[in-house]
Structure 1
């Protein structure tokens, strides 16, 4: 006689349960909502990071470019006085020249007296700066270098031996404007290097000592500077406009933004204002600084 199970057959049946169509749709909707919220938060975090990175890039670029120009301006007109015979520097020309609204650095040769003239093709009407100096002799406390970082040669106290560098704004890779420096290498050939990418405008003003009291009393642009007045420049004011890399579409109906490199006063110049063009906006900032030219004033006082 077969053994009988102590459990009734009805209790052995397995009851299968599942989701209804409504429950399944609700679960899918909640899952999609979670994914959407997570994607939105990720996108916002990414946008915030890009904004901070772009802001940091603009600040760093402006600081580096301005510090570099201020440092090299302090070298303008440098002479190794400790190794020169008396009176040998009196025949030398000023170690500072400039051009308004120009970027044709490749046609200039200050060592040969080719200082050029304004060409009217500067990027955003940017100015061009030429600086001449001699290197420091061995054992000197001074460190004189050109834009590549190499030490400038000492040379004889002659115009042909003076080392010159030329700073200007020009389009770089991808048509991005950048601060560039043109200089002579060891073999005497001119070459050009990028100093800071994203610098889209540079304006310069020069303060001269017109009465010989050692104080700046008149501000001039390069185009208004008489040739003999370059030796009386004792203060240079620099203004740079730097832009970021993140492109943002302009909001519908938004006003076009403008940036003043120098604030208009008794005298104003249209080149001092840069206005955005196109339908894209970028982060921009203006950086300003002033440099006292000690070598220039010392050379002028010694004449």
Structure 2
């Protein structure tokens, strides 16, 4: 029985297994290559789109940040602590000297000139058609065809206050009297840092001999460098210029119009907007009447874009147009920004 059962079980034979033919393999490889190529195109397109979006975001961020920085910095122009209104012994800074030269004056011998210059909150350097109308000052390297702005103000912190830099003999300091009877005779002192009570003799409102606070005098020029960076250069009393400070990179153009309050009496409202004072205007304008500025900036990307191959023009202010030539390889992305910045303290003085 057992043997018969075993004999009745059929023998298992190995089946014949067929592989892919050469034609089938080639078809599969072709389909795979088509899928890989399609995915590569999608990935490359996505990467390029992401790069374009990042460039647009960088241009937008640089332009808006530059306006924000200038708004915060320039709004303090003409602030001299509790000084009601600066007065000067001369009518210019200094008499018959070009503005560019006056901006870069240093040295203790020029302290009186600095003091007289406090009536001027700003001085400007103009440009047009890719060139500089006003001579470049010796203390900065300005990009051709861009404007520059020199401002003066006192530091917002007083010497000795927490987080305020220590007094330095390389800088000038402003002390304003808070003692009523003293203020009417000697409202302010401008002197070299480190000279102590021998120079800074003014008193607080108690008039009891307590020294009034001192503030560092900030003399600063804002400009576009040859490397397309919004920068500023501080002008110390010592004459040893510190390194320029880069505020925002990839800013290639700066144009400025000044707001003049020419009313009689002044009322803190701009009556004239112009790129520079006009002594022949009716009424004539001068730098002491500036109470604010209109700023135009042109921001750019650091790399070219395939979508900016055509020629383009950007209008910055009333009489300045920046033209970009066509480029088959692409130009950097560009965007223009503008704002008005009011000088808080000079405007308040005009209103009073």
Q: TM-score range by the shorter chain?
A: 0.7 to 0.9
Work out which of the residue numbers 167, 170, 190 in structure 1 matches 2:222. 167
Query: In 2, distance between residues paired with 1:29 and 1:104?
Result: 69
Is 2:245 the counterpart of 1:193?
A: yes
Larger displacement relative to structure 2 (192-201 or 129-138): 129-138
Match in the other structure for 1:126: 146
Match in the other structure for 2:345: 295
Name the TM-score, length of structure 1 as normaliser. 0.73
Query: Compared with structure 1, are the counterparts of its residues 222 and 66 closer, same or farther at alpha carbon in structure 2 (3 Å cutoff)?
Result: same
Match in the other structure for 2:58: 57
C-alpha contact 1:202 1:239 (8 A) present in aligned 2: yes
Q: CA deviation at 1:164?
A: 0.8
Query: In 2, distance between residues paired with 1:285 and 1:153?
Result: 39
Is 2:218 the counterpart of 1:221?
A: no
Query: In 2, distance between residues paired with 1:210 and 1:248?
Result: 46
Residues 117-159 of structure 1 show CA distances to partners (whole Å, capped at 9, x for unaligned) of: xx9x744x21001111112354999x999xxxxxx97534439
Query: Compared with structure 1, are the counterparts of its residues 105 and 287 closer, same or farther at alpha carbon in structure 2 (3 Å cutoff)?
Result: same
C-alpha contact 1:78 1:134 (8 A) present in aligned 2: yes
Between Structure 1 and Structure 2, the one with more helix by share is 1
Name the TM-score, length of structure 2 as normaliser. 0.64
Query: In 2, distance between residues paired with 1:52 and 1:257?
Result: 20
Match in the other structure for 2:72: 71
Query: Compared with structure 1, are the counterparts of its residues 23 and 63 closer, same or farther at alpha carbon in structure 2 (3 Å cutoff)?
Result: same
Query: In 2, distance between residues paired with 1:154 and 1:80?
Result: 11
Query: Compared with structure 1, are the counterparts of its residues 229 and 159 closer, same or farther at alpha carbon in structure 2 (3 Å cutoff)?
Result: farther
Instruction: Report the secondary structure of 1:216's partner residue.
Output: coil
Query: Compared with structure 1, are the counterparts of its residues 283 and 206 closer, same or farther at alpha carbon in structure 2 (3 Å cutoff)?
Result: same
Query: In 1, distance between residues paired with 2:25 and 2:137?
Result: 72
Match in the other structure for 1:97: 123
Query: Compared with structure 1, are the counterparts of its residues 137 and 285 closer, same or farther at alpha carbon in structure 2 (3 Å cutoff)?
Result: closer
Please list, as runs of the form range in 1=range in 2, the aligned pairs for 1:256-295 lying within 5 A after superposition: 256-262=311-317, 268-269=318-319, 272-277=320-325, 279=327, 280-295=330-345
Gaps of 5+ in 2: 1-5, 89-117, 166-170, 176-188, 193-215
Query: Compared with structure 1, are the counterparts of its residues 15 and 130 closer, same or farther at alpha carbon in structure 2 (3 Å cutoff)?
Result: same
C-alpha contact 2:157 2:164 (8 A) present in aligned 1: no
Query: In 2, distance between residues paired with 1:197 and 1:137?
Result: 28
Gaps of 5+ in 1: 110-118, 146-151, 263-267
C-alpha contact 1:58 1:285 (8 A) present in aligned 2: yes
Is 2:285 the counterpart of 1:233?
A: no
Residues 64-102 of structure 1 show CA distances to partners (whole Å, capped at 9, x for unaligned) of: 110111111111111111xx5x77x32233121110125
